[in-house]
């Protein structure tokens, strides 16, 4: 089975003074997260969608899913973790509990706050897992990347041709993630904030899927303003 | 849901716009899979239309020939996964006049967005389900329906004697019209007239072919279909008038931006009936789906006029498809994987 795991575990600490986690803020007339989930709902290759929310926001999440989604049957909600990778782990354990363990299960993890995900990117993630055990969605670096260990002076400017920016989805086998994550030490779990980095550290090959510049992550009020500016509302008048 | 609409904003410039689609029980959401490029799309793409027309209509998504799959129907009348053809003509009023001729009807990629979108919200009476037809060939259904409209109208209005048909134009439209004529009038002769022998050689199923500079003086036809359009329509129509028998019908199908000078004196002398044909209706599409499902050999013939299938995943791929289409002999189809 193919699962989408929507990472909605953030609590809105970067979105100005808003107490509402950013994934619940409105893009047009629907919460950002709903737009994101809809893209996976419409994809026939996705069997189930697991939404990982902060514990205190689970009832809220269930309410908005019921209010806005045209079809709730494929979607279930579980608790997020204290870190991103822990959230993914919780999503994986939820899948195991409901659908059993299987080396055939693959998961497409995606930020709830990236509503501009395209069908091509979803389909290419699924396709890439036929060739690679893990894949990441990336775009070529738009700006020059510099390395600075202290934030004050530049230590290195790598060749931009080899620099990419990581987006989501990040996709992998369910059992592969659980096994590799559980084999990390507590210290490693602390420093490894990116799921794909876990696999790199374990010597696994991670494929690249071409993302898109439009697949933006809405992390602050400016991003939200831009997102609202670029989305037109369709008035059905034919 | 957020939809990506690939709009032509000016000749050869395509921009992806994001549209928040609303759900409505009157509409079904379709994922287009195959889109076919038409000469009308190329006129917009290359900027070969009057400036005031371009200013009025753009930005706009192109393409009015498409097939796809249902992904969501709020009323569950269609099932998810149903293969459907998308009907571009969208009437907004009832009339005794055919929907494709009503001035009020809207038409995809001519005043409102065509099918170059990740998903298309289709009014539920604007899609027809089909089975057992190759999706790539089914992409030609719009062109088949246009031909079907012309042939049906001709049959209703023309003289009973239908021994010989002349089809001017050896492009996609001429090919499909010829196929339909051969099937609908199996006892009649179909002669095709074109500019290049190489293209005429594809018409293996017709009775005779001639290049337009080599038509015997004494050749006559009972009725004709003009499938030329553009700057050559004038020569084609006048040639038809010369060779057609009295009271024959000329079905005009080719689009021309400029006025076409024709020998009206001979139209009067011969009592020729001219019928203008454009676009098609829901019923024409229905008849076309039935036609393909009934004639498997037609499906095979149509495969031969698919010159190129371009996989499209991004804007660059769209440009490549349109550029390739300019030099392809027949149809260019985009396999839509955006």
How far apart CA B239 and CA B166 sit, in angstroms, is 11
Report which DSSP code applies to A147: B
Specify whether the backbone of B130 is left (phi greater than 0), alpha (psi in -120 to 50) or beta: beta
Q: Which residues pair with B31 in a beta bridge?
A: B69
Contact across the interface for A234 and B2, Cβ inside 8 Å: no
As given in the structure block, the two tokens for residue B149 are 């409209």
Instruction: Give the global pTM.
Output: 0.91
Check if the beta carbon of residue A133 is closer than 8 Å to that of residue A143.
Answer: no
> Average pLDDT of chain B?
96
Which band of pLDDT confidence, cut at 50, 70 and 90, is reported for residue A190? confident
* Partner-chain residue, chosen from A27, A42, A123, that has the shortest CB–CB distance to B71: A42
Question: CA geometry: angle at A163 spanning A162 and A166, to 5°?
Answer: 135
Q: Taking Cα atoms as reference points, which of A22, A86, A98, A18 lies closest to residue A52?
A: A86
Q: So what's the pLDDT on residue A14?
A: 54
Contact across the interface for B19 and A231, Cβ inside 8 Å: yes
* Partner-chain residue, chosen from A29, A35, A123, that has the shortest CB–CB distance to B2: A35
Which band of pLDDT confidence, cut at 50, 70 and 90, is reported for residue A70? confident
* Partner-chain residue, chosen from B81, B106, B313, that has the shortest CB–CB distance to A238: B106
Q: Taking Cα atoms as reference points, which of B264, B39, B269, B272 lies closest to residue B154?
A: B272
* Partner-chain residue, chosen from B17, B112, B338, that has the shortest CB–CB distance to A232: B17
Residue A15 has pLDDT above 60, yes or no: no
ipTM: 0.87
- % of chain B beyond a pLDDT of 70: 100
Check if the beta carbon of residue A65 is closer than 8 Å to that of residue A73.
Answer: no
Check if the beta carbon of residue B322 is closer than 8 Å to that of residue B10.
Answer: no
Cβ-Cβ contacts under 8 Å, B18 against chain A: 116, 214, 230-232
Which band of pLDDT confidence, cut at 50, 70 and 90, is reported for residue A16? low
Q: So what's the pLDDT on residue A238?
A: 46
Tell me the nearest-neighbour CA distance from A238 into chain B, angstroms.
Answer: 7
Cis before B5? omega within 30: no
Check if the beta carbon of residue A134 is closer than 8 Å to that of residue A194.
Answer: no
Average pLDDT score over residue span B153-170: 96
Q: So what's the pLDDT on residue A193?
A: 83
Residue A17 has pLDDT above 60, yes or no: no
Cβ-Cβ contacts under 8 Å, A118 against chain B: 4, 118, 338
Over B171-230, what HEC string results? Answer: CHHHHHHHHHHHHHCCCCEEEEEECCHHHHCCCCCCCEEEECCCCCCCCCECEEEECCCH
Tell me the nearest-neighbour CA distance from A234 into chain B, angstroms.
Answer: 5
Average pLDDT score over residue span B46-60: 94
Residue B149 has pLDDT above 50, yes or no: yes
Which of B1, B29, B107 to probe the A interface (max A CBs under 10 A)? B1
> Average pLDDT of chain A?
92
Q: So what's the pLDDT on residue A189?
A: 85
Q: What is the pLDDT of residues B213-271, one digit of tens each?
A: 999 999 999 999 999 999 999 999 999 999 999 999 999 999 998 899 999 999 999 99
φ, ψ for residue B264 (rounded to 5)? -70, -30
**SS3 (DSSP) at A169:** strand
Residue B211 has pLDDT above 80, yes or no: yes
As given in the structure block, the two tokens for residue B293 are 């499902």
Q: Exposed, middle or buried by CB within 10 Å (0-12, 13-18, 19+), for B61?
A: buried
Residue A13 has pLDDT above 60, yes or no: no
Any chain B CB within 8 A of the CB of A116? yes
Q: How many CA atoms lie within 13 A of A220 on its CB side?
A: 3
Q: What is the pLDDT of residues B114-132, one digit of tens each?
A: 999 999 999 999 999 999 9
Which band of pLDDT confidence, cut at 50, 70 and 90, is reported for residue A18? low
Contact across the interface for A233 and B22, Cβ inside 8 Å: yes
Report which DSSP code applies to A227: H
How far apart CA A80 and CA A77 sit, in angstroms, is 9
Which stretches of chain B sit within 8 Å of chain A by CB?
Answer: 1-4, 16-24, 26-27, 29, 31, 69, 71-72, 74, 80-81, 90, 92, 106, 112, 118-119, 121, 123, 313-314, 337-338
Q: So what's the pLDDT on residue A71?
A: 77
Average pLDDT score over residue span B61-81: 96
Contact across the interface for B337 and A234, Cβ inside 8 Å: no
Q: What is the pLDDT of residues A195-214, one digit of tens each?
A: 999 999 889 999 999 999 99
How far apart CA A76 and CA A51 sit, in angstroms, is 6
Q: What is the pLDDT of residues B271-295, one digit of tens each?
A: 999 999 999 999 999 999 999 999 9
Q: So what's the pLDDT on residue B47?
A: 95
Q: In angstroms, what CA-CA distances link A212 with A11, A121, B9, B317? A: 26, 8, 20, 15
Q: Taking Cα atoms as reference points, which of B128, B136, B53 lies closest to residue B303?
A: B136
Query: A154-171: buried (b, 16+ CB within 10 Å) or exposed (e) per residue?
Result: eeeeeeeeebbeebbbbb
How far apart CA A173 and CA A177 sit, in angstroms, is 6
Cβ-Cβ contacts under 8 Å, B318 against chain A: none
Cβ-Cβ contacts under 8 Å, A70 against chain B: 23, 72, 74
Residue B331 has pLDDT above 50, yes or no: yes
As given in the structure block, the two tokens for residue B63 are 């393409």
Contact across the interface for A231 and B2, Cβ inside 8 Å: yes
Q: Which residues pair with B4 in a beta bridge?
A: B18
φ, ψ for residue B31 (rounded to 5)? -95, 115
Q: In what order do the strands lie in the sheet with A206-210?
A: A75-79, A48-53, A2-7, A106-111, A164-173, A134-140, A206-210
């Amino acid at each position: 089975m193919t699962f989408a795991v929507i990472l909605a575990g953030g609590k809105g600490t970067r979105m100005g003074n808003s107490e509402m986690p950013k994934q619940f803020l409105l893009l047009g007339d629907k919460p950002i997260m709903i737009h994101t989930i809809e893209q996976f709902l419409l994809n026939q290759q996705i069997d189930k969608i697991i939404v990982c929310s902060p514990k205190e926001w689970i009832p809220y999440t269930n309410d908005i899913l019921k209010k806005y989604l045209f079809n709730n049957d494929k979607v279930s909600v579980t608790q997020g973790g204290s870190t991103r990778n822990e959230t993914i782990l919780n999503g994986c354990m939820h899948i195991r509990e409901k659908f059993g363990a299987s080396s055939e299960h693959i998961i497409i993890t995606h930020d709830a706050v990236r509503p501009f995900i395209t069908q091509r990117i979803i389909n290419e993630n699924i396709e890439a897992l036929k060739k690679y055990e893990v894949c990441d969605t990336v775009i070529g670096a738009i700006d020059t990347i510099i390395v600075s260990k202290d934030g004050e002076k530049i230590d290195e400017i790598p060749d931009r041709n080899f620099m990419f920016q990581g987006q989501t989805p990040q996709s992998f086998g369910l059992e592969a993630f659980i096994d590799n994550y559980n084999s990390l030490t507590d210290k490693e779990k602390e420093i490894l904030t990116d799921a794909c980095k876990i696999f790199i550290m374990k010597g696994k090959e991670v494929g690249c899927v071409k993302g898109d510049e439009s697949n933006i992550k809405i992390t602050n009020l400016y991003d939200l303003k831009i997102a609202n500016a670029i989305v037109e509302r369709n008035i059905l008048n034919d | 849901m957020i939809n990506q609409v690939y709009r032509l904003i000016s000749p050869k410039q395509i921009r992806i716009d994001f549209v928040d689609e609303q759900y409505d029980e009157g509409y079904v959401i379709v994922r287009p899979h195959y889109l076919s490029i038409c000469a009308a799309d190329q006129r917009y793409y290359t900027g070969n239309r009057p400036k005031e027309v371009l200013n009025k209509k753009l930005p706009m998504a192109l393409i009015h020939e498409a097939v796809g799959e249902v992904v969501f129907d709020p009323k569950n009348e269609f099932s998810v996964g149903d293969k459907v053809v998308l009907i571009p003509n969208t009437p907004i009023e009832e009339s005794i006049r055919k929907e494709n001729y009503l001035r009020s009807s809207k038409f995809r990629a001519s005043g409102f967005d065509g099918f170059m979108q990740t998903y298309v919200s289709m009014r539920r009476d604007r899609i027809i389900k089909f089975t057992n037809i190759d999706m790539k060939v089914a992409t030609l259904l719009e062109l088949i329906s246009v031909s079907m409209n012309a042939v049906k109208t001709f049959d209703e209005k023309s003289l009973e004697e239908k021994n010989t048909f002349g089809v001017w134009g050896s492009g996609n439209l001429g090919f499909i019209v010829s196929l339909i004529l051969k099937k609908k009038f199996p006892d009649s002769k179909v002669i095709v007239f074109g500019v290049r022998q190489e293209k005429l050689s594809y018409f293996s199923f017709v009775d005779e072919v001639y290049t337009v500079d080599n038509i015997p003086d004494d050749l006559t036809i009972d009725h004709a279909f003009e499938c030329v359009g553009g700057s050559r329509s004038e020569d084609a129509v006048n040639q038809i008038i010369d060779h057609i028998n009295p009271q024959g019908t000329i079905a005009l199908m080719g689009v021309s931006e400029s006025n076409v000078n024709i020998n009206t004196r001979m139209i009067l002398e011969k009592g020729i009936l001219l019928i203008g044909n454009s676009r098609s209706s829901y019923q024409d599409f229905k008849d076309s789906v039935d036609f393909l499902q009934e004639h498997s050999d037609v499906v095979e013939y149509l495969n031969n006029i698919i010159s190129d299938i371009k996989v499209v995943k991004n804007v660059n791929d769209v440009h490549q498809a349109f550029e390739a289409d300019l030099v392809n002999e027949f149809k260019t189809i985009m396999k839509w994987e955006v």
